[in-house]
């Protein structure tokens, strides 16, 4: 767990003194975890650029990014200057004391107390704007928070109501800039996560036969991935067959697989918080001409898009490539935009163009990790297909993090 780099001093130097902290705060002292400290420094530089006085961290991915682990209810304040403030329930105090040594550990007992003390913490952090932050004279101090799927909406609302003195804004301008390009250690974890997904896919193929249900397969697949080291999955396991293979967002199907079905399997295990994404489509039996056309077209889209995963390319340009392939193969009416999305500690990171259309203009950078094959290619009444893998963006095209066969699509 991260501790701040230097001794806490007074606010004259832009840091926080113990007397300024509130009863819910855990102030961290010196540590050797240098990579996380670098991330905090970079975040504080970006906060100054965005005129934010701090970040309110309430999500597993941001908490893991800064502190190297997560908790069931991750809560932290990262001010624009000085050490971070971590917040914990009373029941976690013994563990934290063991990790922190002689450092003072102060806790809260319920969510209402947490929010109240967060309010007081923000009020006491700075007598004025932190160094480098220059808000307009009549503007409220800006606090960043992740506004995404797993941010509890009721806590966002409560935060705004009890902190009327601050302007709560999206933390994306800070966190996207920090997290889009992955460090080597992050890439290594994502490779391992993809390997776990491959083990899960192997198990799915072993079990897939006429009369088996997606639920039965998913139960064994999850067990296989957890035994291999997965923390869990970032999204529900997706195994849909027959007409339900058309679904853009799938589920575990309890309907028995039938002869001739298309079966879409989409697996998203996590390892130490980092997400994998592996999807394959199988045919139970020999594919008919339409199924073969769908499968071949999707493979072409993946191969072409992989070679184009280079710095400065946008998702809009990748979509244009997939569109041309679909139109050439007579499937232009059935494709969807969003062939690629960012991935890391969050299942969908910038660019996430199917959620935020403006991300279609995000330019890829060397070292980013993205998927290819996000959207379903489906003909209503027939079925759909998806292949998906994770790649690292390089000057020569996408580097596949972990290979898995495309060819093994026919099962008996």
115 and 214 fall within a common domain? no
User: Of 408 and 291, which is predicted with more confidence?
Assistant: 291
How many structural domains compose the chain? 2
Q: Is the pLDDT of residue 26 over 60?
A: no
Task: Over range 385-405, report the average pLDDT.
Answer: 97
pLDDT of residue 374: 85
Instruction: Please report whether residue 43 resides in a domain.
Output: yes
Q: Give the tens place of pLDDT for each residue, 150-181.
A: 898 988 998 888 888 889 999 999 999 999 99
Q: Which domain holds residue 267?
A: 184-411
Task: Over range 179-193, report the average pLDDT.
Answer: 97
Rounded distance, CA 74 to CA 323, Å?
Answer: 41
Instruction: Please report whether residue 1 resides in a domain.
Output: no
Which letter does DSSP use for residue 37 in this model? H
Rounded distance, CA 41 to CA 61, Å?
Answer: 18
Mean per-residue pLDDT of the chain: 84
Q: Is the pLDDT of residue 35 over 80?
A: no
Closest-CA residue to 3 (of 93, 89, 104): 104
169 and 213 fall within a common domain? no
Specify the CATH number for the domain of residue 194: 3.90.230.10
Instruction: Report pTM.
Output: 0.86
77 and 210 fall within a common domain? no
pLDDT of residue 20: 34
CB 117 within 8 A of CB 97: no
């Amino acid at each position: 767990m991260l501790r701040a780099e230097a001794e806490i001093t007074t606010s004259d130097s832009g840091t926080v003194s113990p007397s300024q902290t509130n009863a819910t705060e855990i102030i961290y002292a010196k540590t050797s975890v240098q990579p996380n400290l670098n991330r905090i420094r970079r975040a504080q530089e970006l906060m100054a650029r965005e005129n934010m006085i701090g970040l309110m961290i309430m999500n597993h991915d941001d908490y893991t990014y800064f502190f190297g682990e997560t908790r069931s209810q991750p809560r932290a304040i990262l001010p624009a200057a000085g050490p971070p403030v971590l917040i914990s329930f009373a029941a976690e105090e013994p563990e934290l004391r063991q990790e922190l040594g002689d450092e003072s550990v102060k806790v809260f007992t319920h969510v209402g107390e947490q929010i109240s003390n967060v309010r007081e913490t923000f009020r006491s952090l700075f007598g004025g704007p932190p160094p480098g932050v220059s808000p307009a004279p009549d503007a409220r101090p800006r606090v960043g928070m992740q506004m995404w799927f797993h941010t509890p909406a009721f806590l966002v609302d409560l935060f705004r109501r009890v902190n009327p003195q601050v302007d709560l804004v999206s933390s994306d301008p800070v966190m996207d800039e920090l997290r889009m390009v992955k460090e080597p250690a992050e890439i290594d974890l994502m490779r391992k996560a993809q390997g776990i997904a491959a083990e899960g896919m192997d198990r799915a193929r072993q079990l897939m036969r006429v009369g088996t249900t997606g639920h039965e397969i998913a139960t064994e697949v999850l067990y296989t991935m957890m035994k291999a080291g997965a923390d869990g999955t970032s999204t529900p396991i997706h195994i849909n067959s027959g007409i339900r293979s058309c679904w853009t967002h799938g589920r575990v199907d309890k309907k028995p697989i039938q002869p001739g079905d298309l079966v879409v399997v989409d697996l998203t295990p996590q390892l130490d918080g980092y997400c994998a994404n592996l999807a394959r489509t199988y045919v139970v039996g020999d594919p008919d001409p339409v199924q073969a056309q769908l499968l071949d077209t999707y493979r072409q889209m993946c191969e072409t898009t992989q070679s184009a995963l280079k710095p400065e390319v946008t998702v809009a340009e990748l979509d244009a490539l997939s569109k041309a392939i679909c139109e050439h193969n007579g499937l232009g009416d059935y494709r969807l935009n969003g062939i690629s999305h960012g991935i890391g500690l969050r299942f969908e990171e910038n660019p996430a163009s199917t959620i935020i259309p403006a991300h279609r203009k995000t330019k890829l950078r060397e070292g980013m990790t993205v998927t290819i094959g996000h959207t379903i290619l489906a003909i209503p009444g027939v079925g759909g297909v998806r292949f998906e893998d994770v790649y690292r963006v390089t000057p020569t095209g996408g580097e596949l993090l972990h290979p898995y066969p495309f060819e093994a699509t026919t099962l008996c």
